[in-house]
Amino acid sequence: MKALNVRNFSLKHTLESGQAFRIHPKDGYYYFTVGNKVLKLKQDGNELYYDCNKGINDVFIRNLFSLDEDYCSITGTLGSDPFIADAIKNTYGIRIINQDPWECLVSYICSSNSSVMGVKRSVDRISKMFGKRILFDGMEFHSFPERLGNMGELKSCGLGFRARHLSETASQVNREKLILLKQQPYAEAKSQLIKLKGVGPKISDCILLYSLGFRQAFPVDRWIKRIVQHAYFRGKSIPDSKIREFASSRFGDHAGYAQLFLYAARKKFITLQ
DNA sequence: TTCCAGGTCGTTT
DNA sequence: AAACGACATGGA
C-alpha cells in the first residue's frame, strides 16, 4: 500500500458521514468504490494508506478528499459560532468528498424520502445491474454505470417512484453536461439542476457541494431543518427557503462545511432536544 | 402494524 | 409564495 501524510483529516468521519454511499468496511479497511475504481483505505494517525485496483497517485487522493483545502482556516472561521464549534469537536477531520457528478446525481435522486441505508442499497443494486464487475482483494465490486437501463430494469432495483425520475433525468444529462456547470455561478448552476426530474432545492445543493465544488451550497434536509430550527430559531418552524437564506448570510462561502458538520453530528443534536 | 427515512411533484389556497 | 398529500420501499 502507498502511504500519504495527512493533517486535519479523519478517514472514518469522512467516509461514515453519509456523503458518499458505496463504502464497505472490512477487516479494518474501508473499500470505497469511486466510478470504475475500488479504493482500499486505512488511516493510522497522520498516515493514510491506500491501494486501488487501478493506478492512482497522491494527487487523486488529495483531490478526492479535499485535502488541500485550508482546514484550520475553515474550522477557525466557523468555530466562532458556538453551535458549529460543538459540532466540529464531534467530527473533527471530516472533509468534503469530491464525487463524480453523474454518480452523485443518481445517488441523490435515490435519496429522496429514503434513508442512508436505503440509498446505499439502491446505488449498490444499480451498480450491480448496470455496472461492470471488478475483482479486487478477492472480493467482487461493480463500477458505477455510464448509462442506466429502461424503466422496467430500474424498477427491479427497488427504487420505487424514484425510477421514473431517474429514467427521465438520465435521458437529459450526462457527465459532460454536468461538469460544464462548474463554470457557471452558483445560482445559475442550481437553477439548471432543478429543471431535472427528481431534483429539487435540497438534492441540487448536494450535487453542487459534493461533486461540483460549490462550497456555499447548504443542503437542507429534514435533519438540518430540525437542527437549525432548534439551534437558531428556538424550535420554531421555519420554511426551508428561510433556512437557506439564514445559512448563506451566517456561513457564507463555508456554508457547505457548516452543513457537513451539523449533519455528521445530527444524532447528538436531535437526542438532546 | 405503524412510523420514519439526506424530498419532490402536482395541486390548491 | 406557502401549505398539503401522494409517492414505493424497507428497516426498526
Instruction: Report the relative pairing of strands A47-52 and A37-44 from DSSP bridges.
Output: antiparallel
User: What DSSP string runs through A148-167?
Assistant: ---HHHHHTTT-TTHHHHHH
Rg of chain A on CA atoms, in Å: 18
C1' of B10 to CA of A244 (Å):
23
Largest CA distance in chain A: 53
- Nearest nucleotide from residue A165 CA, by C1' atom: B8
pLDDT value of position A270: 77
Report the run of H or E that residue A135 belongs to, with start and end: strand A133-136
Q: What is the pLDDT tens value at each position of chain A, 273 positions in all?
A: 999 999 999 999 999 999 999 999 999 999 999 999 999 999 999 999 999 999 999 999 999 999 999 999 999 999 999 999 999 999 999 999 999 999 999 999 999 999 999 999 999 999 999 999 999 999 999 999 999 999 999 999 999 999 999 999 999 999 999 999 999 999 999 999 999 999 999 999 999 999 999 999 999 999 999 999 999 999 999 999 999 999 999 999 999 999 999 999 998 887 655
Which residue is nearest to the C1' sugar atom of C7, using CA? A161
**In sequence order, which residues have a C-beta less than 8 Å from that of residue A266 and are 6 or more positions away?**
A223, A224, A227
pLDDT value of position A126: 98
| φ, ψ for residue A111, nearest 5 deg | -80, -10
Q: How many residues does chain A have?
A: 273
Residue A95 CB in 7 A reach of strand B:
no
| φ, ψ for residue A218, nearest 5 deg | -135, 85
- Nearest nucleotide from residue A155 CA, by C1' atom: C8
Residue A198 CB in 7 A reach of strand B:
yes
